[in-house]
Homo-oligomer: A and B are copies of this chain.
Amino acid sequence: MSASLDSPPRAASPRALSAKSAAALLKEDMRRVDDRLLAALEGKRDLIPEVARHLIASGGKRLRPMVALASARLCGYQGDAHIDLAAAVEMMHSATLLHDDVVDEGALRRGRQAARLIWGNKASILVGDFLLGKAFDLMVGTQSLHALRILSAAACRIAEGEVMQLACQRRLETDEAACLEIAAAKTGALFAAAAQTGSALVKSARAHGARLETYGHQLGMAFQLSDDVLDYAGGSKKMGKALGNDLREGKMTLPVVLTYARGSEKERRFWQEIFANGLKKGFWDEARALMERHGALDETRDRAKRFSQKAVKALATLPQGAGRDSLEEIALFSAARLH
């Protein structure tokens, strides 16, 4: 669990105490998830443990498995299957990261050199495939067809989102709707699936599924839009990955989409030049300045915040307690890391 969640950003909130104890409760479950992740690699040969451990042991925020664990708690789940589902969710995410870094030619991940630069693109592709297979293996072990249905649909949606993103790469005509659809698929879908795992495991909590799905989707949007802002306005230390990657890659994230839509003809030619011929000296500062001028970063921040508020709101009618407190805390954190 990250330090920022141990000391929640809303320390002055009236529920701060219970949220803290919720985080502590999740901590024990999170330790079990970590054990499960490492156990899944035991006895594996060759590059699999090295590559997977490099990524998994480097930590990351583990938000998705945390959401799964909190969901299980909210739904009053009593068994052990939530640990496997949370580990499976993190494995699916890790597989995506390995493949993403190959596709995006990323250099830095979770503050460490990307696996593909150490072991090569080939190993990253194949170990990603292994992790995806292993994720399903863990899910099958829980015998929950309901959870399997939700998570296999999410696996498709994630890949669809990634493909959509690739298809929109360097296409400045990409509009806001497409940009949000990509975020919903590539990021929202896994958060939404993780949030539903609790209700999948507990028959009497099945009715909470729709609200938990909404919560997860909104949280995922808040998280993705924050990420998109941080790629332009974060420090690489804070992010654990390099600044400016999205621009170099020609990714049509909301800050670019808004700035381009609001730009003059001359400004638009500047963006066309970047996307056609790459980042030259001075371009980064100019791009940043244009984003500020059109309020694109502030607006993306605001949207992230509103998504996180909607996520909290989606929880309103769900059972109170440590599970719901944790989910609230995660939602508030997802946008708070921007400030």
Residues on A facing B (Cβ under 8 Å): 44-48, 95-96, 99, 102-103, 121-123, 125-130, 132-134, 136-137, 139-140, 143, 145, 148-149, 152-153, 155-156, 158-160, 162-164, 166-167
Contacts and interface: CB of A to CB of B under 8 A. Distances in A.
A122 B103 CA distance: 5
B103 A163 contact: no
A153 B140 CA distance: 10
B155 A136 contact: yes
Nearest to A143: B145
Contact of A160 (B44, B95, B160): B44
What secondary structure prevails in chain A residues at the interface with B? helix
B130 A163 contact: yes
A126 B133 CA distance: 15
Contacts of A145: 140, 143, 145
A46 to B, nearest CB: 4
A21 to B, nearest CB: 36
Contacts of A149: 140
A130 B152 contact: no
A45 B164 contact: yes
15 contacts: A45-B164, A46-B163, A95-B129, A99-B126, A102-B121, A103-B122, A126-B159, A127-B159, A127-B163, A130-B160, A130-B163, A133-B156, A140-B148, A140-B149, A148-B148
Contact of A137 (B44, B102, B125, B156): B156
Contacts of A44: 160
B47 A163 contact: yes
Nearest to A130: B159
Contacts of A127: 159, 163
A156 to B, nearest CB: 4
